[in-house]
A and B are shown apart, each in its own frame.
Chain A
Amino acid sequence: QVQLQESGPGLVKPSETLSLTCTVSGGSISSYYWSWIRQPPGKGLEWIGYIYYSGTTNYNPSLKSRVTISLDTPKNQFSLKLNTVTTADTAVYYCVRGAGWWEYWGQGTLVTVSS
């Protein structure tokens, strides 16, 4: 059974960079698409982007200028970097397997942007 686990700072200052890592267990990262999805407190879901095991990426146009998703195949991990954050980036961030539909989700990690 594939399992995903997010890790990273729970508090980021405005204008700084949000960095999260997702560790995949129970399966190899060297296949499938791997995505990040976020959910502001009390609000709906927003797709951030995905990376394919080949390295191909695709990002939400509304975030594209600030987002980078990368793979670390030897560690079976993939990562999210979101630059120049504001309070609007406060959300639960989920790492997920897939693109288009998402069956395996991490438990989510709350990242708060505050000074």
Chain B
Amino acid sequence: QSALTQPASVSGSPGQSITISCTGTTSDVGRYNYVSWYQQHPGKAPKLMIYDVSNRPSGVSNRFSGSKSDNTASLTISGLQAEDEADYYCNSYTSTNFYVFGTGTKVTVL
């Protein structure tokens, strides 16, 4: 099972919106609504930002939103802030009953 494909890097200016894509296959992202997103700052544990495609855990800013179309899930960060600069990973359940992460995206705030 290959990792889900994410862009290596995405950048934006403060206040702008950016979108990170996460492309899988009909055996994972395209089949199940079990996509989650994680934010990771250097040296820290990942933090859950979105689960089940578009749900935000309590305490996560509503500037973060998730969606899915066919085999591609997306994480949108609106009103980009300096603190959003981090690595982001997607994850999906697969038809072979395990979980696969994306390759990771480094978000830079210009």
Query: In the complex the two chains form, is A107's CB within 8 Å of B45's CB?
Result: yes
Chain A: interface residue count, which band?
10 to 19
Chain B's closest residue to A45 (CB) is B101
Number of A-B residue pairs at CB separation under 8 A: 54
Pick 6 A–B contacts, CB within 8 A, sort by A: A44-B89, A101-B51, A102-B48, A103-B48, A103-B57, A105-B46
The answer to whether the Cβ of A76 comes within 8 Å of any Cβ in the partner chain is no
**Beyond A47-B100, A61-B98: 13 further Cβ-contacts under 8 Å?**
A44-B3, A44-B104, A47-B101, A61-B96, A100-B36, A100-B93, A101-B34, A101-B36, A102-B36, A102-B38, A105-B45, A105-B47, A106-B45
The answer to whether the Cβ of A58 comes within 8 Å of any Cβ in the partner chain is yes
Residue of B34, B57, B101 near A46 (CB, 8 A) is B101
Chain B's closest residue to A94 (CB) is B45
Chain B: interface residue count, which band?
20 to 34
Query: Residues of A with Cβ closer than 8 Å to B?
Result: 44-47, 58-62, 94, 99-103, 105-108
A58-B97, A61-B96, A100-B93 known; A45 and B52 CB under 8 Å? no
The answer to whether the Cβ of B69 comes within 8 Å of any Cβ in the partner chain is no
- A103: chain B residues at CB < 8 Å are 48, 51, 57
A45-B46, A61-B1 known; A101 and B101 CB under 8 Å? no
- B34: chain A residues at CB < 8 Å are 100-101
Which 7 A-B residue pairs are closest in the complex by CB-CB distance?
A101-B51, A101-B36, A105-B45, A47-B99, A45-B101, A44-B104, A103-B48
